[in-house]
C-alpha cells in the first residue's frame, strides 16, 4: 500500500490557477513561492516571466490581458511599495489584476528592514483601490486565491492575496 502525501498549499494554488485559465505568471524570485513557481515554470501551458523589479509585473499583466491571456503577479510584501504608482494602470483601465504576495516582517522576522513595508502593505494596496484578502493558515491559501481570481478575472477587479509569513515559516540566515 502506498500512502501519498497530502498536497501542499503550493500544489493546491497551482491547481486553482489552472482552473482559472491563467496563462502567464510574472514574478520576482522568492523563497516562499519557490515550490509554486517551480510548478508554474514546469507547465508548458503557462508562460513565466522573471521580473527585474516588482512594478514591471503590473503592465506585463495588463498587456497579457489585452492580448487575451490571464496573468498573475507574484512578489514579496517588500516589493509592494515599488508597485504603488504602477497600480493606477489596472485600476484606471479596469483591467483585472491578481497578485499573490508573500508577507515578510510580521512573524519571527530577523530583518528589521522588512517590518515597515509589511505594516504598510495592506493599507497601501487598499488606498490605491486594490481589494485585499489574507490567508493565515495553509488550508486558506488555495480557496482564497480561487475566490480572488474569480473576482479579478470575472469582475475586472484588482485583487491581492496576502500569504502570512507564519505559513511560509521562519527564515534563517
Q: For 22-54, what is each residue's pLDDT tens digit?
A: 999 999 998 889 999 999 999 999 999 999 999
For residue 67, the model assigns a pLDDT of 95
Q: What's the whole-model pTM score?
A: 0.92
For residue 171, the model assigns a pLDDT of 66
Give domain status of residue 171, yes or no.
no
Give domain status of residue 1, yes or no.
no
Residues in the chain: 173
Compare 123 and 105 and report the one with higher pLDDT. 123
Give domain status of residue 172, yes or no.
no
The mean of the pLDDT values for the chain is 92
Alpha helices in 67-135 (DSSP H): 80-83, 88-93, 115-128
Residue 16 has pLDDT above 50, yes or no: yes
Give domain status of residue 157, yes or no.
yes
Give domain status of residue 173, yes or no.
no
How many domains are there within the chain? Answer: 1
How far is residue 60's CA from residue 46's CA, in Å, rounded to a whole number? Answer: 14
Q: For residues 102 and 163, is the Cβ–Cβ distance under 8 A?
A: yes
- Tally of CA atoms within 13 A in the half-sphere of 32 that contains its CB: 24
Per-residue pLDDT averaged across 6-18, rounded? 90
Residue 137 sits in a domain whose CATH number is 3.40.50.970
For residue 173, the model assigns a pLDDT of 63
- Helix, strand or coil, per DSSP, at residue 107: coil
For residue 3, the model assigns a pLDDT of 42
For residue 172, the model assigns a pLDDT of 64
- Residue 2 — pLDDT band, cuts 50, 70, 90? very low
Give domain status of residue 134, yes or no.
yes
41: CB partners within 8 A, 6+ apart: 48
Give domain status of residue 75, yes or no.
yes
For residue 1, the model assigns a pLDDT of 42
- Helix, strand or coil, per DSSP, at residue 28: coil
Give domain status of residue 15, yes or no.
yes
Residue 4 has pLDDT above 50, yes or no: no
For residue 64, the model assigns a pLDDT of 96
Domain that holds residue 158: 9-166
Edge-first strand order for the sheet with 70-76 is: 47-50, 22-27, 70-76, 97-102, 158-163, 131-135
Amino acid at each position: 500500500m502506498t500512502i501519498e502525501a497530502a498536497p501542499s498549499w503550493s500544489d493546491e494554488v497551482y491547481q486553482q490557477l489552472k482552473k482559472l485559465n491563467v496563462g502567464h505568471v510574472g514574478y520576482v524570485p522568492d523563497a516562499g513561492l519557490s515550490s509554486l513557481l517551480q510548478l508554474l515554470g514546469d507547465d508548458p501551458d503557462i508562460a513565466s516571466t522573471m521580473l527585474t523589479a516588482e512594478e514591471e509585473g503590473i503592465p506585463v499583466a495588463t498587456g497579457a490581458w489585452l492580448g487575451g491571456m490571464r496573468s498573475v503577479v507574484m512578489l514579496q510584501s517588500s516589493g509592494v511599495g515599488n508597485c504603488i504608482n504602477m497600480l493606477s494602470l489596472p485600476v484606471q483601465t479596469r483591467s483585472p489584476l491578481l497578485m499573490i504576495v508573500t508577507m515578510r516582517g510580521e512573524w519571527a522576522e530577523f530583518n528589521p528592514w522588512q517590518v515597515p513595508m509589511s505594516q504598510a502593505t495592506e493599507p497601501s494596496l487598499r488606498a490605491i483601490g486594490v481589494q485585499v484578502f489574507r490567508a493565515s493558515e495553509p488550508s486558506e491559501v488555495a480557496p482564497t486565491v480561487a475566490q480572488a481570481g474569480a473576482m479579478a478575472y470575472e469582475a475586472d477587479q484588482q485583487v491581492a492575496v496576502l500569504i502570512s509569513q507564519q505559513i511560509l515559516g521562519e527564515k534563517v540566515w
